[in-house]
Amino acid sequence: MITELLLPAKSPTMTEGTLVAWKIKPGDQVAIGQVIAEIQTDKAVLEWESSDAGRVAVLLAEAGQQLPVNAVVGLLTTKPGEDTTAAVAEAKAKNAALAAPVAAPAPAAAPAAVPAPALLSAPTAAALSAPLPAPTAKPGKSVRASPVAAKVAAALAVDLRKVTGSGPDGRILRRDVEAAAKDGSASFASAGATAPPKPKLKLSRADGPAQADLPLSPMRSVIGKRLLESTSTIPHFTVSETIAAERLADLREQLAAADVKITVNDLLVRASALALRQHPKLNAAWLGNAIRQFDSADISVAVAIPDGLITPIVARAHTKTVRQIGDEVRALAKKAQEGRLAPAEFQGGSFTISNLGMFGIAAFTAIINPPQVAILAVAGIKDVPVVRAGAVVPGKQLTVTLSADHRAVDGADAAAFLKTLRELLEAPALLLI
């Protein structure tokens, strides 16, 4: 039996080595584990211990020679007098094949075609704050579009890479985008801007229950994917707090009596922003290898829209008055309903508030919107009996539940944040100064 001695890779990064010196010569008997040569790798000179036994029939490399890993540098035989002519020829052929790239280093292996990022329609990506694939990144060729063409393309979910420009030097103009939107030739994966066709209820059997299989809209697909990713990769934990809401309700009544339209949600955005500034650990993003804390409290506010939800952002909420926040939230919600949010208005955000208070529910938990590290679930204000000075009296309560990412936030941080939030909401005058 003939065994080939192959130049071993002595380090993970080694692709070639120099045979510094042989420790064997033809005719020698080699045992497993015996040092047969010294090899210089890209890092050091190392001993090469044989993993095979046999008699050295032939050595095919000389000391000082530089060789690729897996080059056949010798042959061992186990039977005396075995004919190695064919094996030597085969070994030389292998070496020649291996040597080619060493002699003239071939261009780095052509990178595997980079898969184009999955394209989502803008409104779909809007479902959560997933960053859109850069709309102008075409491998090897940049897209030239006028500023208004880029703006209109974002609004109409037109993929600029698929649009032919009619302006100077092929610049894409507004009319090109509008024409592409009209004939649908350059939409992202699917037309998220248009409502999916309304499915008809179809009887599957004459006597069976009426049922319908609704095709997933792009937005539902993204919601499903991103929330599954969130629950399956983020170690969520939740902390709840009950807030005495009498003063909050009273403040709202006072403002409503003066025709000032302020909602509990507006006050919550303001309170959260102020609390986040005191507890920056919750105003952060999980980056995988780092935690990025933000100075600005940019609050994503979950808004239900016909096919799902979207989280427009009240940027720098800590710098805004309750009235400014309220005006902004209502303007953003209106744009969201109309599908007119600009990417900058829903991408990013450092913390999310999901408020189901308008349905009067008692409490709920929310799923974190990555890469954020926390989300606040806000329930409705309830009339409840409370114990005050030893007596049961009528009171109002509001339950909030914070979901946090344990990789970035610990229970004590979450509790401290909720304590600050409760103190602010129980003394809501603090939100007006």
Name the residues annotated as catalytic. Answer: 406
Query: What six digits make up the tokens of 414?
Result: 């979450």
d(CA 266, CA 256): 13
Under the criterion CB under 8 A, does residue 223 sit at the interface with other proteins? no
* CB atoms closer than 10 angstroms to residue 194: 13
Under the criterion CB under 8 A, does residue 151 sit at the interface with other proteins? yes
Under the criterion CB under 8 A, does residue 147 sit at the interface with other proteins? yes
What are the backbone dihedrals phi and psi of residue 386, each rounded to the nearest 5 degrees, phi first?
Answer: -125, 155
Closest approach, Cβ 170 to other proteins, in A, equals 11
> For residues 173 and 366, which CB has a smaller minimum distance to other proteins in the complex?
173
Under the criterion CB under 8 A, does residue 167 sit at the interface with other proteins? yes
Site size toward other proteins (CB under 8 A) is 12
Closest approach, Cβ 146 to other proteins, in A, equals 4
> For residues 165 and 380, which CB has a smaller minimum distance to other proteins in the complex?
165
Under the criterion CB under 8 A, does residue 149 sit at the interface with other proteins? yes
Q: What is the largest CA-CA distance in the chain?
A: 109
Say if CB 339 and CB 127 are below 8 A apart: no
Under the criterion CB under 8 A, does residue 126 sit at the interface with other proteins? no
> For residues 174 and 220, which CB has a smaller minimum distance to other proteins in the complex?
174
> For residues 163 and 402, which CB has a smaller minimum distance to other proteins in the complex?
163
> For residues 171 and 382, which CB has a smaller minimum distance to other proteins in the complex?
171
- Span from 170-178, 256-264, 297-305, 351-359 in contact with other proteins (CB under 8 A): 170-178
Closest approach, Cβ 300 to other proteins, in A, equals 23
Closest approach, Cβ 134 to other proteins, in A, equals 17
Q: How far is CA 53 from CA 76, 140, 171, 217, 399, in A?
A: 7, 54, 70, 65, 75
**DSSP 8-class letter at 151:** H
Under the criterion CB under 8 A, does residue 144 sit at the interface with other proteins? no
- Give long-range contacts, CB 8 A cutoff, 24+ apart: 414-417: 414/237, 414/239, 414/282, 414/374, 415/239, 416/279, 417/275, 417/276, 417/278, 417/279, 417/282, 417/374
| SS3 call for 410 | coil
The beta strands (E) that lie in 250-323 are given as 284-286, 291-293, 299-301, 303-305, 308-310, 313-314
Query: What six digits make up the tokens of 93?
Result: 């052929």
Under the criterion CB under 8 A, does residue 163 sit at the interface with other proteins? no
Under the criterion CB under 8 A, does residue 146 sit at the interface with other proteins? yes
Under the criterion CB under 8 A, does residue 148 sit at the interface with other proteins? yes
Helix axes 174-183, 147-156, angle to 10 degrees: 20
> For residues 148 and 256, which CB has a smaller minimum distance to other proteins in the complex?
148
Under the criterion CB under 8 A, does residue 150 sit at the interface with other proteins? yes
| SS3 call for 154 | helix
Chain positions 174 to 203 lying near other proteins, rule: CB under 8 A, are 174
The site for other proteins (CB under 8 A) is made up of: 146-151, 166-168, 171, 173-174
